[in-house]
Structure 1
């Protein structure tokens, strides 16, 4: 039998270069090997553009439409993927694919970097400096992903041969982390703060911000604080004035965005249409199946700065009322939103072209395009497979999604994240000063800027209290951006929260059903409760980790458990893929696999 070549070796042997325009049009124009390429500046540019592929920037928490949600912020009906069911093994497809893609990316960029360093007169000094900076930025990002997900991994900083790839062993992640810092340092030294309008390449700020992320993910708070502060001191970024607007497909330019992958319909760079369907309400032709968790809904504080179980402003029947304005921009609201708005718990709100109202008595909703009522497909009274907990995501979703094509830019680093990383790192170092409070309050001020409420300013300097505040602030600010999973991993809370935890949904028909509601299909599991029990009949209690307890609602028949989650401790690291270990006997396995 011929000896198989493993993924890493195969990708070292053959490098495909895909051309694109300066605005990162990644559609393939032509291809060439490293042996007959790199003859012009444009060929170097096209080779580096390959590094911006979204495949090489995988999101944490989304395996696509059929396995979204690795954390306690996102649910998918009653489905659990391998991470939340605790069934990750050495053949876990996501771990295999990401391993392959990261080494593919590293191999390609190392080849480009070698050609940059050995070229003679093809590039101007300015081009050589920028291209070397971009290559180092990519390497820093790619290696960060590997060590934060797999721990010790095979490391090399120059192209290696196929034979070497069969023998290379795992390298201590602490050593690789120092190399990552070096990559980002070279990148930040070589890259400009900004480019001419229309160019979307990595910048000095991106290198500093991603260095801060690498450091904070690995528990190096001192380096994280320094890198984040250096990014802040560039004075190149500021928070977008409108939180909700920032994430819409129409927002293509913002001083808050530090690094993104542009999407456009023109170049067929859009969100996967299947995933769009899973996010859209059924009233808009979607499935309403990828949904915010009740835990996420409960985590947003009230406008007095207190958690829902401490604030006198919280109304369990109107869970969106008097809450952090980012909640209304993240989850589609319903019911009363503030005192004096004239709304009641059974009121809906406009989302896209229609009213959204999951209340079981509202079997018809208003269509704003036709100015008429139509069947409400987002209530359990009419459709059993609408949102299982009554919630839908709103962040980044608007009428542009109606034709099932969305071109929202993929924002991978923004200034709010840098501010919160700086604050967190300084809190963990117990170096709490005015700069820490200013960073947190700058983010919170923007959150409240377009509302009728004022930011309940953070003033405490107590380390334990601030740790809770900044962690919850990250959850509120970054919800739906696929960063929660790695936060739980680095805080060592994934097993605490998800091992033996649950996901919750609306209660089935029960003793407190309203007999006045006409059920169109009596065999459906219809959630119909008396007015005094909608939406939550009780206020859930919040623990020291910001996690809500919904079991009292379940015990009272006001909610049901949809799934029971599991997270064994060995899943803090992913397995080394079996295929790789069979072909390279020097690759050891992570504990537990």
Structure 2
């Protein structure tokens, strides 16, 4: 199996020679002093692999319509994002630090005097350009027009520089990626770093985000033509902490407790309360409703959908992403009150299930995950399954890979770009169905293959496919932004189960558990739960709002005060 691991070497180097002279050139950060060894170039470039530089569009309270934390709201979903927002300021600062440091290293590579071989210099230059392109990509997709430079700025220049049109910066980004593609290897034999395929895939992503569908399709096709990547055999297994390598992973940062690179974003909030967690971070009802049934139809059109057993006959990725309960397929003998085995304990939020089965002991145990027993159990009855396994319980860190780009994304980016270009042919259907085939591979169902060539129908399909495939991976937010759907999707309400007395009286006793009726799905794949609330079968948890100006983030107020030439994005 190919290994595409992008390792950060954490070394504290203090070189002392026999005359007790110190080498004062730092080996793990850029410097204006000339590098004198390959290790200095290597350690300088490792700056680009720092985890904070690859932070995703997600937060503890959720920034999209797939993720929520009880009834709490992120500033983005509350519509209160402003120029003093700490996240917006930190991302701005981090990206500019990264760009400045990589520019410095790039100059060192270009001016190195025989320290590196020609091949080493070529590879390192491609790696530096890969990072620079990726960091500029983040800035223009989130902030729009931003200050742009390709050489180190003096202090005076930094206080006077204005903003460059994002379209002009995009062309520079393409140039950086093209250099990386030309200079980076397809793979490495030892420690793994950014590759040709990673540069192609990331070029496709920024082109897709910016609406350059022809460039996105070409870059994605180039990555596919490398024949270097393949989908992981099992969808759910790909995201577990034990899966360290896979042919599907194109660019990612491995996590390791031993190296202090781990996931520690309040993991107990994800865990079931019966496992010692809090069950506070949940998939939304909207996400659950978005998965199609195994006949390929949305839930409001499929005769297979059962609102009393919402996981029954659903796309297998639904059951791999959200902890299921109730009947899952015809003939399994399960009732709506039954749970599933999740980490050796039955999970069900049903109000009458005061105990659940412990598969490790063979005994019944107190059910902490029903609101009948615990009022702060999951507010909507749902919990995340994707990424979570036994290793999350102790200690409260996890070693799941930080996945930035995987092959499924390349396939769907290719398909989406060709659809938007109205260049629909067999390759588009093949790309979509390859992803769907893998999703159904370990289930009792067969992929209801996509066969339509209608552009509008395929646009709906590929967008919903992205939602099913990439849930909880930090990609949904930018998809909503680039599709200009955020003000629709992120305005309205968040939903959960009715209060416990109403659940029993109005939902359980009439036999209407879990959903008392099937929500309608609109032309954008968005479910409407208001009829359930109006019928007393559910409740509103909070109001959400996405004002139009939030399609771009604010320029941090501190920077605007220091440099009046920056101006501010509209609405802030």
1:378-425 alpha-carbon deviations (Å, 9 max, x no partner)? 110111111100000000111121212210010100000000000000
- The equivalent position to 2:500 in structure 1, one of 477, 494, 509, is 509
Partner of 1:356: 347
Please state if 1:456 is matched with 2:443.
no
SS of residue paired to 1:532: coil
Partner of 1:34: 31
1:72-102 alpha-carbon deviations (Å, 9 max, x no partner)? 0001111001100000111111110000000
Partner of 2:412: 420
Distance of 2:354 and 2:221 partners within structure 1: 53
Please state if 1:394 is matched with 2:385.
yes
Aligned length: 554
SS of residue paired to 1:135: helix
Distance of 1:29 and 1:397 partners within structure 2: 36
Residue correspondence of structure 1 range 59-458 to structure 2 within 5 A: 59-62=56-59, 67-197=60-190, 199-272=191-264, 274-403=265-394, 404-458=396-450
> TM-score, normalized by length of structure 2?
0.95
Partner of 1:48: 45
Stretch deviating more after TM superposition (502-511 or 486-495): 502-511
Distance of 2:130 and 2:530 partners within structure 1: 46
> TM-score, normalized by length of structure 1?
0.91
Distance of 1:294 and 1:23 partners within structure 2: 37
Distance of 1:261 and 1:531 partners within structure 2: 50
SS of residue paired to 2:508: coil
Please state if 1:533 is matched with 2:530.
no
Determine if contact 1:509/1:528 at 8 Å carries over to the other structure: no
Partner of 1:4: none
Determine if contact 1:287/1:386 at 8 Å carries over to the other structure: yes
Moved over 6 A (4+): none
Q: For residue 28 of structure 1, report the CA deviation from its aligned partner.
A: 5.0
- The equivalent position to 1:556 in structure 2, one of 527, 531, 535, is 535
Determine if contact 2:66/2:284 at 8 Å carries over to the other structure: yes
Q: CA 1:25 to 1:528, structure 2 compared with 1: closer, same or farther past 3 Å?
A: farther
Distance of 2:153 and 2:81 partners within structure 1: 31
Q: For residue 343 of structure 1, report the CA deviation from its aligned partner.
A: 0.5
Determine if contact 1:508/1:528 at 8 Å carries over to the other structure: no
Determine if contact 2:507/2:516 at 8 Å carries over to the other structure: no
Please state if 1:498 is matched with 2:480.
no
Q: CA 1:533 to 1:27, structure 2 compared with 1: closer, same or farther past 3 Å?
A: farther
Distance of 1:531 and 1:217 partners within structure 2: 47
Distance of 1:534 and 1:464 partners within structure 2: 35
Is there any run of 5+ residues in structure 2 with no aligned partner, and where?
15-25
Q: For residue 61 of structure 1, report the CA deviation from its aligned partner.
A: 1.8
CA root-mean-square deviation:
1.5
Partner of 1:519: none
Is there any run of 5+ residues in structure 1 with no aligned partner, and where?
1-20, 515-526
Distance of 2:83 and 2:386 partners within structure 1: 34
Distance of 2:252 and 2:6 partners within structure 1: 15
1:403-448 alpha-carbon deviations (Å, 9 max, x no partner)? 1221001010000000000000000010000000000000000000
Q: CA 1:81 to 1:27, structure 2 compared with 1: closer, same or farther past 3 Å?
A: farther
Determine if contact 1:279/1:291 at 8 Å carries over to the other structure: yes
Q: For residue 556 of structure 1, report the CA deviation from its aligned partner.
A: 0.8
Distance of 1:550 and 1:400 partners within structure 2: 35
Stretch deviating more after TM superposition (278-287 or 332-341): 278-287
Distance of 1:576 and 1:172 partners within structure 2: 14
Distance of 2:435 and 2:366 partners within structure 1: 40
Distance of 2:343 and 2:433 partners within structure 1: 31
Determine if contact 2:349/2:370 at 8 Å carries over to the other structure: yes
SS of residue paired to 2:341: strand
Q: For residue 367 of structure 1, report the CA deviation from its aligned partner.
A: 2.1
Q: CA 1:184 to 1:277, structure 2 compared with 1: closer, same or farther past 3 Å?
A: same
Distance of 1:487 and 1:528 partners within structure 2: 35
Q: For residue 37 of structure 1, report the CA deviation from its aligned partner.
A: 5.7
Distance of 1:241 and 1:143 partners within structure 2: 34
Distance of 1:444 and 1:160 partners within structure 2: 48
